[in-house]
């Protein structure tokens, strides 16, 4: 499966005490080639009269940015998470997480209060393999937290602390987030509580092969806001302090921040969290296709005159796709009016769908566009 990123490394940012996972770099970025400067002097020059600085229009003055109000809104809703395994819980922990991997022993991370009655969002990898979780609020209040549920394939977990009237954040619409937009990352990196960093959205719909398995859902918001171990599970917010995503990973060679971080978009997080709160698990739909992203090379091989979309290689019998008349060779270019440029776009849209939803899917077939209505069925892969 082809990926847009040449840097496919990511460090999951659980905690520096053993709870974090590090994903090592597998494709290096070449250093830039030095540019040779021409030293030949011009044979003649024309003098140009430039206006004095005082003559410049006032609207050209450098803008100022103040994120203090957003930081003030956000920090009370951000929590510090400490996860561990109790001695009496070691026998049952593998069954609880349905895994055969060794116990991790716990670690540290961040989270954000999702509702006023104490539901908390974080990453699955922050609490994976543990059965005791303690949440510390910005005012230093400590709470024992219940693990309500989680979804490994999106790296989302929901906790619950007892109480009412907790501070929580207004949700942004991550579909409307723009590249170049200012964002803040808030969390507890490197044991530094309530840390706020700023940056911009540098890309959307990134897949970095962080989460294993073909059914993983990766469509990260990429930013250059500084994020480090301990930030995992903390919020990415817009300049108004609205929750835009959950910080999850960094691209790194060292295990520390080196320029880019990745957050799960809140529109996907909300879909998963609401299911977990309601039923204890994420009820995934089942499109039932083998797919890959279209690019110029594969478009030439297929003999089509478009080079963006998702190619369907095979359709599984009895799936939503089969019942909705999708065919091998179809190229999905739009779902419910949203352009599908690559695999992450499609997996996020499908991942946000509910059982019984009817999706309007536009495909490119036989050199023409075709609109199909496809009802989404529940995934058979539990």
366 is catalytic: no
In the structure encoding, which two tokens stand for residue 256, read together? 């520390």
Residue 323 CB burial class (10 angstroms; 0-12, 13-18, ≥19): middle
191 is catalytic: no
Residue 307 backbone zone (phi > 0: left; psi -120 to 50: alpha; other: beta): alpha
- In our burial notation (b when 16+ CB lie closer than 10 A, e otherwise), range 51-80 reads eeeeeeeeeeeeeeeebeebbebbbbbbbb
Q: How far is CA 173 from CA 178, 245, 355, in A?
A: 11, 10, 22
Beta strands 331-335; 358-365: pairing state: antiparallel
- Which is the catalytic residue, given 80, 110, 125, 330? 125
Distance of CA 244 to the CA centre of its chain: 10
Reported as half-sphere exposure (CB side, CA atoms, 13 A), residue 303 has a value of: 4
173 is catalytic: no
- Which is the catalytic residue, given 110, 232, 320, 342? 232
- Which is the catalytic residue, given 151, 155, 238, 345? 155
Active site residues: 125, 155, 232
């Amino acid at each position: 499966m082809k990926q847009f990123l040449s840097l496919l490394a990511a460090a999951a940012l659980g905690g520096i005490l053993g709870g974090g996972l590090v994903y090592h770099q597998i494709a290096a970025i070449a250093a830039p080639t030095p540019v040779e400067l021409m030293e030949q002097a011009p044979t003649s020059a024309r003098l140009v009269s430039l206006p004095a600085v005082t003559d410049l229009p006032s609207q050209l003055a450098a803008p100022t940015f103040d994120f203090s109000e957003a930081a003030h809104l956000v920090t009370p809703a951000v929590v510090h998470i400490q996860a561990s395994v109790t001695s009496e819980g070691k026998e049952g922990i593998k069954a609880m997480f349905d895994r055969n991997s060794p116990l991790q022993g716990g670690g540290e991370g961040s989270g954000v209060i999702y509702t006023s009655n104490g539901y908390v969002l974080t990453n699955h990898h922050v609490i994976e393999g543990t059965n005791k979780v303690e949440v510390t609020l910005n005012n230093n209040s400590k709470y024992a937290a219940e693990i309500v549920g989680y979804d490994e394939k999106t790296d989302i977990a929901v906790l619950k602390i007892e109480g009412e009237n907790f501070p929580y954040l207004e949700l942004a619409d991550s579909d409307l987030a723009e590249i170049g937009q200012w964002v803040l990352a808030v969390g507890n990196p490197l044991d530094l509580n309530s840390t706020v960093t700023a940056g911009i959205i540098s890309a959307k719909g990134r897949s970095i092969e962080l989460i294993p398995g073909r059914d993983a859902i990766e469509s990260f918001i990429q930013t250059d806001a500084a994020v480090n171990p301990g930030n995992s599970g903390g919020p990415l917010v817009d300049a108004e302090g609205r929750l835009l995503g959950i910080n999850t990973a960094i691209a790194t060679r060292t295990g520390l921040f080196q320029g880019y971080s990745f957050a799960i978009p809140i529109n996907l997080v909300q879909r998963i969290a609401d299911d977990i709160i309601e039923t204890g698990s994420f009820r995934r739909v089942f499109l039932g296709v083998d797919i890959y992203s279209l690019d110029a090379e594969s478009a030439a091989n297929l003999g089509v005159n478009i080079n963006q979309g998702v190619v369907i290689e095979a359709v599984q019998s009895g799936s939503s796709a089969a019942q909705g008349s999708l065919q091998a060779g179809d190229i999905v270019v739009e779902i419910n009016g949203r352009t599908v440029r690559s695999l992450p776009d499609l997996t996020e849209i499908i991942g946000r769908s509910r059982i019984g939803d009817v999706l309007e899917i536009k495909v490119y077939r036989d050199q023409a566009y075709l609109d199909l209505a496809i009802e989404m069925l529940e995934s058979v892969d539990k």
